[in-house]
Chain A
């Protein structure tokens, strides 16, 4: 009798394993097909000229310089704005705020904000940064819009990382007479940092792939010069791809594929930085 149950359980376990494996493969194969397709179309197009030319009406002469530089600007500015804000808000909510209805409300709102479609943030950015603040359609407006977009994600990951730090660490610190600030700064943050950094960089990778909010604030499509400062107009890679893919000439579709590869490489690079930082910080912490 019990033998029957055992073999049934084993069989179920095997079935579950196969199902999970299938789930992995479906995602993996879909991604693989897309990557192979993109690489077949675009890999041959990538050259120094492609990286260093401005967009052009002739597919063969068009390059991504302005979009690439715009994306890099966007990334650094968004990081500079969103990281301190997200970190600060996360630390306050997790370590300092009293647990009452108000913090509950703020928490619920933040998790809801993480699910708001990005175009809404674009319209908000258009209203506030472009028009009310008068920053026009500049890098600054774009970066602030993307900051709003990823702030909820950074706050949430910061809080999760802080939550994961064992309570005993805090208690030990207080027991030795450390203030709350000393505890947070010297004990909690270093332990939580790998998680926070990983979350932030993943959020940034999402931000650089965004098209809709930047089109909404009026990022431009054709731009044949590089921004000199944060008040200059700009374009980014996803917008360039979006524009090229809708053009009638086949050559532009190839350009779009090549630009997608570059965008993928940037994202990949950012993710490796995230992994590197996590490793590096984790090794530092020893109990």
Chain B
């Protein structure tokens, strides 16, 4: 015989407890939903650290407002944004025509606000003693789709470089950094050779380059900043003298004054015009633009010039919708201030 009663009592009580917890919490949840003030942000993982920092500071001053930040990627973020599932979308590139159409379809108007610069760094192993700079032409020669299985040795790029296999590292094809790099270097977004080590996790790339003498790779400048001892940064020459002569190293100064070209880009937040009417979202966006300079520098990005933030606040307050950066991105000679005045 077995004492089933105690067994079942135990089970029954566990169950009723779980049910009560579930029921109470759902009741509490629905009761709270009305007076809970949420600001929902999602999008690029590149912009995430800045938004996280702003959210952290903002919530210290506004205890009753809750900010949530997700990382669905720039594209994934815009999908949610266009379904009004979020108030603000983090974007490491400007909104694409396809996404503009999606927003239009569902009647979402947006205000585009640049929040910082992100530089893309070209890096090699510290033991690499032959390379001192690289030109955009050479980068194209290495990374364009035609280079696959052809440009495989350092000597294929410059004759006096060693006759050793070059090992390439770059971010995965889903990242905004990859999109941007291929666009400005290879001329077409997403066009690249396929035979390189790709990882969505930049730390894997750092690891790879730091242990491989014949490596060359690119990724966000912030990762270089925190791994200076393991990597060697390469100055890039874009062949144009009007924005700085010769090879230029990415730095706070050269990115900020637009001489480190073409491998620096502004990154953005997109605010839904309808959400901006909510006071908590409004407060958050203003707080964001006022503190982005300090906080973006703290998490490893390069702040925009101070006037750009003032202009962005102006633009936001006037609720100017649409994108001014369009397809031009950083290719245009217009500075970020000039674009914001448009």
With A56-B56, A220-B69, A229-B28 as known contacts, state yes or no: A248 contacts B300, CB within 8 Å. Answer: yes
Per the 8 Å Cβ criterion, residues 47-74 of B in contact with A are 48-49, 51-53, 55-56, 59, 66-72
B297 to A: closest C-beta gap in Å: 12
Contact stretch, chosen from A16-24, A77-85, A94-102, A159-167? A77-85
Contact stretch, chosen from B18-26, B125-133, B253-261? B18-26
Contact A225 B66 (CB under 8 A): yes
A279 to B: closest C-beta gap in Å: 13
With A231-B30, A248-B300 as known contacts, state yes or no: A222 contacts B3, CB within 8 Å. Answer: no
Taking CB atoms, residues of chain B closer than 8 Å to A245 are 201, 203
With A186-B4, A222-B55, A248-B225 as known contacts, state yes or no: A228 contacts B85, CB within 8 Å. Answer: no
Contact A229 B69 (CB under 8 A): no
With A57-B299, A223-B68, A243-B71 as known contacts, state yes or no: A231 contacts B29, CB within 8 Å. Answer: yes
Taking CB atoms, residues of chain B closer than 8 Å to A109 are none
Residue of A nearest to B58 (CB): A224
With A228-B28, A246-B201 as known contacts, state yes or no: A57 contacts B45, CB within 8 Å. Answer: no
Per the 8 Å Cβ criterion, residues 203-256 of A in contact with B are 215, 218-225, 227-233, 243, 245-250, 253
Contact A284 B18 (CB under 8 A): no
Taking CB atoms, residues of chain B closer than 8 Å to A140 are 26
Contact B66 A136 (CB under 8 A): no
With A218-B80, A246-B201 as known contacts, state yes or no: A286 contacts B1, CB within 8 Å. Answer: yes
Contact A246 B56 (CB under 8 A): no
Contact A248 B45 (CB under 8 A): no
Residue of B nearest to A225 (CB): B66
Taking CB atoms, residues of chain B closer than 8 Å to A285 are 2
Does B211 touch A at the CB level, under 8 Å? no
B192 to A: closest C-beta gap in Å: 21
Residue of B nearest to A81 (CB): B22
Contact partner of B56 (CB less than 8 A), chosen from A57, A215, A243, is A57
Q: Which residue among A79, A80, A186, A218 has the maximum number of chain B CB atoms within 10 Å of its CB?
A: A218
Contact partner of A221 (CB less than 8 A), chosen from B27, B69, B203, B299, is B69
Per the 8 Å Cβ criterion, residues 177-205 of B in contact with A are 200-203
With A218-B42, A218-B72, A222-B51 as known contacts, state yes or no: A231 contacts B26, CB within 8 Å. Answer: yes
CA of A40 to CA of B55, assembled, Å = 32
The contact string, 1 if C-beta is below 8 Å from chain A, for chain B 226-244, is 1100000000000000000
A79 to B: closest C-beta gap in Å: 7
Per the 8 Å Cβ criterion, residues 70-88 of B in contact with A are 70-72, 80, 85
Contact partner of B67 (CB less than 8 A), chosen from A56, A224, A231, A281, is A224
Taking CB atoms, residues of chain A closer than 8 Å to B55 are 222, 224
Does B32 touch A at the CB level, under 8 Å? yes
> Taking chain A's interface residues, is the majority helix, strand, or loop, or is none over half, making it mixed?
loop
Q: Which residue among A137, A138, A222 has the maximum number of chain B CB atoms within 10 Å of its CB?
A: A222
Taking CB atoms, residues of chain A closer than 8 Å to B49 are 57, 247
Does A142 touch B at the CB level, under 8 Å? no
Taking CB atoms, residues of chain A closer than 8 Å to B2 are 190, 284-286
Contact partner of B32 (CB less than 8 A), chosen from A190, A229, A250, is A229
Does A55 touch B at the CB level, under 8 Å? yes
B26 to A: closest C-beta gap in Å: 5
Contact A221 B70 (CB under 8 A): yes
Does B223 touch A at the CB level, under 8 Å? yes
17 additional A-B residue pairs with CB within 8 Å, beyond A224-B66, A284-B7: A56-B56, A57-B299, A80-B19, A80-B22, A84-B15, A218-B80, A221-B69, A222-B56, A222-B68, A222-B69, A222-B70, A225-B66, A227-B29, A229-B25, A230-B29, A246-B201, A246-B203
Q: List 10 A-B contacts (CB under 8 A).
A: A55-B52, A137-B85, A215-B71, A222-B55, A228-B29, A230-B26, A231-B26, A232-B36, A246-B200, A286-B1
Give residues in B with beta carbon < 8 Å to A. Answer: 1-4, 6-7, 15, 18-19, 21-22, 25-33, 36, 38, 40, 42, 45, 48-49, 51-53, 55-56, 59, 66-72, 80, 85, 200-203, 220, 222-223, 225-227, 295, 298-300
Query: Which 5 pairs, one residue from A and one from B, show the smallest C-beta to C-beta distance?
Result: A229-B29, A222-B69, A57-B53, A80-B18, A248-B226
